[in-house]
Structure formats: C-alpha cells, structure tokens
Chains A and B, each alone.
Chain A
Amino acid sequence: EVQLVESGGGLVKPGGSLRLSCAASGFTFSSYTLNWVRQAPGKGLEWVSSISGSSSYIYYADSVKGRFTISRDNAKNSLYLQMNSLRAEDTAVYYCARDLGILGATSDYWGQGTLVTVSS
C-alpha cells in the first residue's frame, strides 16, 4: 500500500525557516517524481514544487522560487521541502504527492498534509 506521511509543520514567525519531510512507503521511491502542493486555509490548491526520481529535474512555482528548496533522499525514501524567508501568505496545509508519471504534476497518491502557520 502506497503511503506518504508528512511532518515538520508548525508555527513560525515571518522571515523564519522550516523543513518539511515526507516519508514514503509501498512503492519504488526512486522511480517516481514527487510533488509538493499546498492549500491556504479555506482556499484552493496550489502546486509548489516537483522533483524527478533522480533529482535531475526540479521545478518551483514563482511564488516560492528562491525561498524554498525541494530535495529527496532515495536511500531513506524521503522527500523534503526547506522553506526559508517565510511569509504570512505561505500559511497553508502542505501535501506531498506521488506523480503518476504520465503528465506533469499529476498526483495519484497524497499524504494527509502538514499545517504551516506563519505568524508573529
């Protein structure tokens, strides 16, 4: 069974940093592109970042480019999102998701999400 479990969310002050993790199981981790998608409270979905299986291809939304860094450790079956210079508008539930592998950022399995709150 495919499982994705996010962790690392919490309350952080504007300008602060946070590192999210996503532990994966139930599939050949290194073979899949992975995505981060976020959802601000009461709002819609926003694609944040994607990383290919070998980390050869990495993409970011303009809203986080230069502040967030996606990475993965295939030996540990883990995905990460390093978030720096956080802003109030980064407040959201952050989901990690496995890519279907057919089309760009088509996510077939999702974690339960971890809440990041940026507030003073």
Chain B
Amino acid sequence: DIQMTQSPSSLSASVGDRVTITCRASQSITSYLNWYQQKPGKAPKLLIYAASSLQSGVPSRFSGSGSGTDFTLTISSLQPEDFATYYCQQSYSTPPFTFGPGTKVDIK
C-alpha cells in the first residue's frame, strides 16, 4: 500500500502569511494527489485535485504543485477562515486511497 506523510504536523501562522504544507508518497503517484481542508465538526472540503487543479469555488490563494512523490499545498496569503486541518490523499491506481495524517494550521 502507498503510505502518505505530511509535514509539518502543525504550524502557527498569522493572517497574511504565506503557508506551505508538504505531502510525500511512499512511491510515485504521478499527479494523483488531492488536498482537503477540514474545520472542526465539519466535513472535509476538496481544495485541489490532480496535484494542481483548483476545485470550483475555491479561492485562488490556494495552489498545489508537485508530481511523483513530493507535493506542496500553498496558501499565498492566509485568511482567518483558512485556519483548519489540511489533508492530502493519493488517488493513484487501485485502492486503498490513503490520506496523509493531516497538518493543523492555527493562529500565531
């Protein structure tokens, strides 16, 4: 099975900061990588699919990059509503479609 790791596990940032979260796969998943945002008590929300495609309705301050095993989610200017936990997920080939352990972004 493909294992996913994320770094950091948590970070503190201020409104307006540029934030970068990294996700690594245990083997190449080409561009089959998704990013989700989850706020406490709420369902996850799809932000980015296929490594760099912005889901409809998601603000353009969110961007994704990478291929193979290393991927990045960037928030160009952190907004108050962006404080949440972010998960990557690989959707390559056959199941299981594993998620990363998550990165919690909170207020500095």
Contacts and interface: CB of A to CB of B under 8 A. Distances in A.
A50 interface: yes
Contacts of B87: 44-45
B55 A108 contact: yes
- Identify which of A46, A106, A111, A112 gathers the most chain B CB atoms within 10 Å of its CB: A106
B50 interface: yes
A62 interface: yes
Interface string B44-63: 11100110000100000000
Contacts of A47: 89, 95-99
A102 interface: yes
B46 A104 contact: no
A32 interface: no
Interface residues of A, number: 24
B36 interface: yes
A105 interface: yes
A100 B36 contact: no
Nearest to B56: A108
Given A47-B95, A110-B44, A104 B32 contact: yes
Given A45-B87, A47-B98, A95 B43 contact: yes
Contacts of B93: 104
B101 A44 contact: yes
Contacts of A50: 95, 97
Q: Which of A95, A110, A113 has the most CB of B within 10 A?
A: A110
Contacts of A110: 43-45
A61 interface: yes
Contacts of A44: 87, 99-102
Interface of B: 1, 32, 34, 36, 38, 43-46, 49-50, 55, 87, 89, 91-102
11 contacts: A37-B44, A45-B89, A46-B99, A47-B98, A59-B96, A61-B95, A62-B1, A105-B97, A106-B49, A108-B46, A111-B43
